[in-house]
Amino acid sequence: MPTEIYDSTIVTLVDGSEIYITPLKIKYLRLFMKEFQRVRNAKDDNEAIDALCSCATIMMRQFYPKIKTQEELENAIDLPTIYQILKYAGGVSVNEKSEESVKDQATKGGITWEELDLAELESEVFLLGIWKDYEELETSMSMPELTSTLKIKRELDYQNKRFLAAIQGVDLDKESGKQNAWEDMKARVFSKGKATNSNDILALQGVNAQQAGFGIGMGLEYEDLTEK
């Protein structure tokens, strides 16, 4: 089961300094994506590499502000390390040993700002009321963090609607065809993997049994024939 929202790494500069690299916060990702158009428009690999170094220089505003110019970047970090930073911070993968051109590798796949309604996503998560303005939100969150937060928010919103519907006698899961993944996961945990879903009798154990007031160990016993 995944336990991390995003991948991260530590890179070492020429002078031995170490930098912890994570996905770019949205504030810097905006600047990065704008500069990345130079890579898309590059005529050859030399231009593409120069543009990628410029993109990495922008990334240093978040990870290592001491590096302010592309010249300082190229003096402090070798090209393979720059590629590593681009991969973890911006999702751009370049293998210097590949026969494929740098430009083609860097621009392969991925999304662009034109394909992403970032304003709508930010507006939805902003309703949580944690940030004083959108600039603070963009400074504190990366895209993986934003999408993960939205996923949980939407799930909680659905659970609230599900509860209100149940009061009125409506099974929202059945109406929408949506499975209750959270309840099914709890069922598997409390039954040590034996229950297939929340309706399985083996799910009525531990906390589930206590909440229901009835279950295995609380007036209900069962015999596991699979262990014989």
pLDDT at position 216, please? Answer: 46
Cβ count near 190 (within 10 Å): 21
Lowest-confidence pick of 23-27, 88-92, 107-111: 107-111
**pLDDT value of residue 224:** 53
Q: Are 18 and 10 in contact (CB under 8 A)?
A: yes
- H-assigned helices in 127-223: 134-140, 143-167, 172-176, 181-190, 206-212
Burial state string for 83-109 with b = 16 or more CB within 10 A and e = fewer than 16: bbbbbbbbbbebeeeeeeebbebbbee
So what's the pLDDT on residue 60?
Answer: 97
pLDDT at 220: 47
Reported as a single tens digit per residue, the pLDDT across 9-19 is 999 999 999 99
Sheet strands (E) in the chain: 9-12, 18-21, 215-216, 219-220
pLDDT, residue 96, reads 85
What pLDDT shows up at residue 162? 80
Position 40 scores a pLDDT of 92
Cα-based distances in Å from 163 to 65, 88, 198, 209:
48, 40, 16, 20
Question: Tokens standing for 4?
Answer: 């991390």
Q: What is the pLDDT of residue 25?
A: 96
Q: What is the pLDDT of residue 156?
A: 85
pTM (2 decimals)?
Answer: 0.69
pLDDT at 74: 95
pLDDT score of 120: 86
Model pLDDT for residues 155-210, shown as the tens digit of each residue: 888 888 888 888 877 776 776 655 555 566 555 555 555 566 555 555 555 544 54
pLDDT at 178: 57
